[in-house]
Chains A and B, each alone.
Chain A
Amino acid sequence: MINFISKTVNLALASILALAFLGLEANAVEYWLSAGTTTLTMPDGEVIQMWGYGEDTDQDLSTVEGNYSVPGPELKVPAGDTTLTIHLRNDLPVPSSLMIAGQPADGTAPTYSGGRVLSFNDEAGANGGTVTYTWANVRPGTFLYTSATNPAVQVQMGLYGAMVAVLEDGPLCGPAPGGGTAYPGIIFDEDLTLLFSEIDPALHEAVAADDYGPGKAITSTVNYRPLYFLINGVAKEAGSNPIEIGSGGDRLLIRFLNAGLETAMPVIQGFYMQLVADDGFPMPFPSEQYSVMLTAGKTHDAIFSLLCDSLPEPISSTGTFAVFDRRAHRLTNNNAAGDGGMMTEFTLLDQDGESIVDICDNCLGVANPAQVDTDGDLFGNFCDTDLNNDLYADFGDVPLMVRAFIWQEEAGDFNSDGSVNFYDIARFLDLFNTTPGPSGQSNANHF
């Protein structure tokens, strides 16, 4: 028994060491995907036959897991990784494939039949065929991955997703857990993806019923007429959840992608953005705009500045603002009553629930609606027992705490109950030997 435990521990240790070793040397990331049929239900109840990608979680490509989604899973290439490998199993009734526009794959070539291009790269055969692609020199940036086979049909059927590679990991300031460097000099605290696409239900119905193709009911996509419009695979419906942002840090990187066949015009109501990249290439200089022209197949990265001071008045109070397609005839779910289509909201997080959004909150993690900040250092009193402002709460602050207790000074009233009492002394002791904060006001973190 002891021996067994010991063996297990040894094995675990070996695994950890191996993982650590891999972690240090990590220069390759591998994904196992499968392509297959699924459905999306539109807000008006219409069920659309879709094709999607899903992750093969047991990584053997031998079983069909059926977890296809539209868009497909976001493929992340961690910082430092330069090689990406994707294994694809195809459970569709036709051959399929995968490409990343802007990232040439190694050792793959277009597929021809009778002089006609069928696919831009190697295909996986219908009903269970597999193929493996490798990208040895992954370029950091935001990219679309899509089917490379008959893209006019297969992409609009739903075979698309986002592929994201960052230059460097790690937040450089602020309390955000994420963050990194997207492109040289383009640092972000958190990032999110907004992927735009459309659905023409007639086309999907024809493909699913094998009514699409030469001699059949629909012979081409020339009459493409989308009636549903999606952001991240979702058409707006009443009561749908907004996208939460502002968990910390003031630099939100928004990755805009258009997998549809039409131009989208994303606008974030009330704000300007700095456009910093175009098709995964950093722009020579940022462009300050409130709108993004997102043509079919395009990606754009924008830095969205989440400074409390620059929030428009209505937004700082409600914390919610609109994100929508300015081609506003597409804000519909095939003419169902009410809002629809490519519209959503951003909502600024207020994780401690005091109705002050985190990016404006001078003490995170606790409800301090009064937001008292006696010394004006952007750390609210409840988070700020550093009374001598040396950015560390320690013995140097004790005399000031004693004085505050005797003279009932507001700086020592951490819980803002009107008096400096034993509660505040307990708080002082709790936070002894810590830095002040955390404050959501980014300037507090930019010392």
Chain B
Amino acid sequence: MKTETDTALRHVSALRRIAASILMLAGLIVGGTAQAVISGTTGVNFDLTAKEGYVSMGDGATVYIWGYALDGGNVQLPGPTLIVTEGETITVTLHNDLAEAVSITFPGQTDVTTTGADSEGYLAGEAAATGGEVTYTFTATRPGTYQYHSGSNVGLQIEMGLSGALIIKPNAMNQAYNHPSTAFHQEYLFFLQELDPHIHTAVEAGLTPNLAERRAQYWLINGRSGPDTFFDDNIPWLPTQPYGAMARTHPNETVLMRVVGAGLDVHSFHTHGANFRVLARDGRMRETIPGVSGADAGLSDFTLTVAPGQTYDATWSWRGEDLGWDIFGHAPGDPCEPSGEECDPASPIYDHGKAIPVWLPEQQFLTFGGFWSGSPFLGQEGALPVGEGGLNLDGGYFYMWHSHIEAELVNFDIAPGGMMTMMIVEAPGVPIP
């Protein structure tokens, strides 16, 4: 028996499929490959300006910041992600529009030379207040995930936003380091920091807040607090926070997590879905035999302790192991797709044609979230009531990745928000990004 609602549902579902197809097509045309690329700026010469500006928090608040801007453009949080290649000589020129001296230090880069400094800061040569300029040069000797931050009035200037990520890629493609143990299919940056808005307000008012009394109220990934982390890169309504933090992958692929502890407090970054394995810390592989064994000494874990100043590389992978049911919703007679492993009794994903071991409830017994595609099976969609769903066009599985300090999942006391984003496991063939 058909009802009007059923028809309407089917209609919506069809529209969603069309939308998905268009997106897929667009992805194929634009991307060409199904690989996530970390947003940032590539090259060997970078022109940064320290200046003031504002960012938006997930609760709608506006926070005054100091940040690094690229090529005299918008101030941004975090500073531009500098993506360079091993062996290159990197030059970073810093202009200063702020009313106090600023600088940049590059932890982990051991041969930085400074030219034209107006003064010496605690950790680096400085560009003088209001119009100063300084240039830093270093060789990107060792691949890895690094950060850069101000070396002047360090506590306040890091708090205000003067930091960013530096990624040195090895010459080998799709590896984090020069060892096959660090190979990946998708890579994402998770730049973790926190803000105490009282300090920012006080600085904007020309006061000198006591950093020892700092207590953060906003917790950010890539400069955004949840749920803004879900949005794409470069969305027009967050002009000073260009980097999103939503991650996507396909089953069985290896995701490289580049995690940066950029703030002043420790965070516990938790990956739902599967454990990760740590490859490197501070831009150096965790090796049992240095220079030989590759990244074989890192632990498998599901909560990464992200300490201020440190960086981490880790790999994460998901393929529905040991679920006991077929995530593709195959019937026993269907072909073994997408891989023969499903039909191999020796494989941990030997579940071809096995039904999901629960009765799927009728819609009237469900409440809906935007991420529910209407179907429990990967890449499939089911009927949804009018107005429900809409955030999961490709029928992916959503795993929340977040700070395990649950108190950091708020925006100034309003939950949910803060240091949270999603990892979406998409069906094979769904284009990423």
CB-based contact B307/A329 at 8 Å: no
Partner of B110, one of A287, A310, A334: A310
Distance A339 CA – B287 CA, assembled complex (angstroms): 38
Q: Check A220 for interface membership: any CB of B closer than 8 A.
A: no
CB-based contact B108/A290 at 8 Å: yes
Q: Check A265 for interface membership: any CB of B closer than 8 A.
A: yes
Q: Given the complex, which residues of A lie within 8 Å of B287, measured CB to CB?
A: 285
Distance A329 CA – B107 CA, assembled complex (angstroms): 18
Q: Check A272 for interface membership: any CB of B closer than 8 A.
A: yes
Distance A288 CA – B177 CA, assembled complex (angstroms): 15
Partner of B264, one of A272, A287, A329, A341: A329
Q: Check B198 for interface membership: any CB of A closer than 8 A.
A: no
CB-based contact B281/A326 at 8 Å: no
A-contact bits for B208-231, CB 8 A (1 contact / 0 none): 111111100000000000000000
Q: Given the complex, which residues of A lie within 8 Å of B265, measured CB to CB?
A: 327
CB-based contact A291/B113 at 8 Å: no
Q: Given the complex, which residues of A lie within 8 Å of B90, measured CB to CB?
A: none
Q: Check A226 for interface membership: any CB of B closer than 8 A.
A: yes
Distance A226 CA – B214 CA, assembled complex (angstroms): 11
Q: Check A208 for interface membership: any CB of B closer than 8 A.
A: no
Complex: chain A residue closest to B283, CB-CB = A290
Distance A265 CA – B211 CA, assembled complex (angstroms): 16
Q: Check A335 for interface membership: any CB of B closer than 8 A.
A: yes
Q: Check B310 for interface membership: any CB of A closer than 8 A.
A: yes
CB-based contact A328/B213 at 8 Å: no
CB-based contact A265/B122 at 8 Å: no
Q: Check B127 for interface membership: any CB of A closer than 8 A.
A: no
Q: Given the complex, which residues of B lie within 8 Å of A229, measured CB to CB?
A: 212
Stretch in contact with the other chain, from B13-21, B39-47, B152-160, B235-243: B152-160
Distance A329 CA – B284 CA, assembled complex (angstroms): 26
CB-based contact B212/A227 at 8 Å: yes
CB-based contact B110/A312 at 8 Å: yes
Q: Check A271 for interface membership: any CB of B closer than 8 A.
A: yes
CB-based contact B310/A291 at 8 Å: yes
Partner of A271, one of B110, B155, B214: B110
Which of B86-138 touch A at CB < 8 Å? 105, 107-108, 110-114, 122-123
Distance A213 CA – B202 CA, assembled complex (angstroms): 35
> Given A265-B308, A269-B123 in contact, is the A334-B155 Cβ separation under 8 Å?
no
Partner of A328, one of B112, B158, B290, B307: B158
Q: Check B286 for interface membership: any CB of A closer than 8 A.
A: yes
Distance A314 CA – B212 CA, assembled complex (angstroms): 31
- Smallest Cβ distance from B281 to chain A, in angstroms? 6
CB-based contact B113/A313 at 8 Å: yes
Q: Given the complex, which residues of A lie within 8 Å of B290, measured CB to CB?
A: 285-286, 288
Q: Check A411 for interface membership: any CB of B closer than 8 A.
A: no
Q: Check B309 for interface membership: any CB of A closer than 8 A.
A: yes
Complex: chain B residue closest to A343, CB-CB = B122
CB-based contact B212/A326 at 8 Å: no
Complex: chain A residue closest to B199, CB-CB = A329
Q: Check A403 for interface membership: any CB of B closer than 8 A.
A: no
CB-based contact A288/B282 at 8 Å: yes
Q: Check B297 for interface membership: any CB of A closer than 8 A.
A: yes
Q: Given the complex, which residues of A lie within 8 Å of B105, measured CB to CB?
A: 269
Q: Check B266 for interface membership: any CB of A closer than 8 A.
A: yes
CB-based contact B210/A289 at 8 Å: no
CB-based contact A322/B309 at 8 Å: no
Complex: chain B residue closest to A285, CB-CB = B288
CB-based contact B113/A328 at 8 Å: no
Q: Check A93 for interface membership: any CB of B closer than 8 A.
A: no
Distance A270 CA – B112 CA, assembled complex (angstroms): 8
Count chain A CB atoms within 10 A of each CB in B123, B208, B287, B297 and give the residue with the most: B123
Count chain B CB atoms within 10 A of each CB in A225, A310, A327 and give the residue with the most: A327
Q: Check A267 for interface membership: any CB of B closer than 8 A.
A: yes
Which of A241-282 touch B at CB < 8 Å? 263, 265, 267, 269-272
A-contact bits for B289-317, CB 8 A (1 contact / 0 none): 11000000100000001011110000000
Complex: chain A residue closest to B211, CB-CB = A329
- Smallest Cβ distance from A331 to chain B, in angstroms? 5
Count chain B CB atoms within 10 A of each CB in A290, A314, A328, A331 and give the residue with the most: A328
Q: Given the complex, which residues of B lie within 8 Å of A145, measured CB to CB?
A: none
Partner of A291, one of B111, B122, B211, B282: B282
Count chain B CB atoms within 10 A of each CB in A228, A265, A290 and give the residue with the most: A290
Complex: chain A residue closest to B286, CB-CB = A287
Partner of A329, one of B112, B122, B123, B214: B214
CB-based contact B310/A328 at 8 Å: no
Distance A163 CA – B107 CA, assembled complex (angstroms): 31
Q: Check A293 for interface membership: any CB of B closer than 8 A.
A: yes
Partner of A265, one of B214, B286, B309: B309
Distance A313 CA – B115 CA, assembled complex (angstroms): 12
CB-based contact B154/A331 at 8 Å: yes
Q: Given the complex, which residues of B lie within 8 Å of A326, measured CB to CB?
A: 264, 308-309
CB-based contact A334/B212 at 8 Å: yes
> Given A291-B282, A313-B113, A335-B212 in contact, is the A263-B310 Cβ separation under 8 Å?
no
Q: Given the complex, which residues of B lie within 8 Å of A285, measured CB to CB?
A: 287-290, 297
Partner of B122, one of A288, A293, A332, A339: A339
- Smallest Cβ distance from B206 to chain A, in angstroms? 15
Q: Check A324 for interface membership: any CB of B closer than 8 A.
A: yes
Partner of A322, one of B108, B122, B208, B264: B122
Distance A327 CA – B264 CA, assembled complex (angstroms): 5
Which of B183-211 touch A at CB < 8 Å? 208-211
Q: Check A87 for interface membership: any CB of B closer than 8 A.
A: no
- Smallest Cβ distance from A345 to chain B, in angstroms? 9
Q: Given the complex, which residues of A lie within 8 Å of B158, measured CB to CB?
A: 328
CB-based contact A331/B282 at 8 Å: no
CB-based contact A329/B266 at 8 Å: no
Q: Given the complex, which residues of B lie within 8 Å of A263, measured CB to CB?
A: 266, 307
Q: Given the complex, which residues of B lie within 8 Å of A310, measured CB to CB?
A: 110
- Smallest Cβ distance from B296 to chain A, in angstroms? 10
CB-based contact B107/A312 at 8 Å: no
Q: Given the complex, which residues of A lie within 8 Å of B308, measured CB to CB?
A: 265, 326-328
Q: Check A300 for interface membership: any CB of B closer than 8 A.
A: no
> Given A267-B107, A285-B288, A329-B211 in contact, is the A314-B113 Cβ separation under 8 Å?
yes
Q: Given the complex, which residues of B lie within 8 Å of A332, measured CB to CB?
A: 155, 210-212
Q: Check A330 for interface membership: any CB of B closer than 8 A.
A: yes
- Smallest Cβ distance from A199 to chain B, in angstroms? 10
Complex: chain B residue closest to A200, CB-CB = B212
Partner of A290, one of B107, B114, B289: B107
Distance A269 CA – B310 CA, assembled complex (angstroms): 13
Distance A263 CA – B306 CA, assembled complex (angstroms): 12
- Smallest Cβ distance from B145 to chain A, in angstroms? 13
Complex: chain B residue closest to A263, CB-CB = B266
Q: Given the complex, which residues of A lie within 8 Å of B155, measured CB to CB?
A: 328-332
Q: Given the complex, which residues of B lie within 8 Å of A341, measured CB to CB?
A: 212
- Pull 25 A–B residue pairs with CB atoms less than 8 Å apart, ordered by A: A225-B213, A227-B210, A227-B212, A265-B310, A272-B110, A284-B288, A285-B287, A285-B289, A287-B284, A287-B286, A290-B282, A291-B107, A293-B307, A310-B110, A312-B110, A313-B113, A314-B112, A326-B264, A328-B155, A329-B155, A329-B159, A332-B211, A334-B210, A334-B212, A343-B122
Q: Across chains A and B, which 10 residue pairs bring their CB atoms closest together, nearest first?
A: A326-B309, A335-B210, A328-B155, A329-B211, A328-B154, A288-B284, A329-B155, A293-B307, A289-B282, A291-B309
What 17 new A-B contacts, CB under 8 Å, besides A291-B307, A314-B112?
A: A225-B212, A227-B212, A229-B212, A265-B308, A265-B309, A270-B110, A285-B288, A287-B284, A288-B290, A290-B107, A291-B107, A291-B282, A324-B154, A328-B154, A328-B158, A329-B212, A331-B154
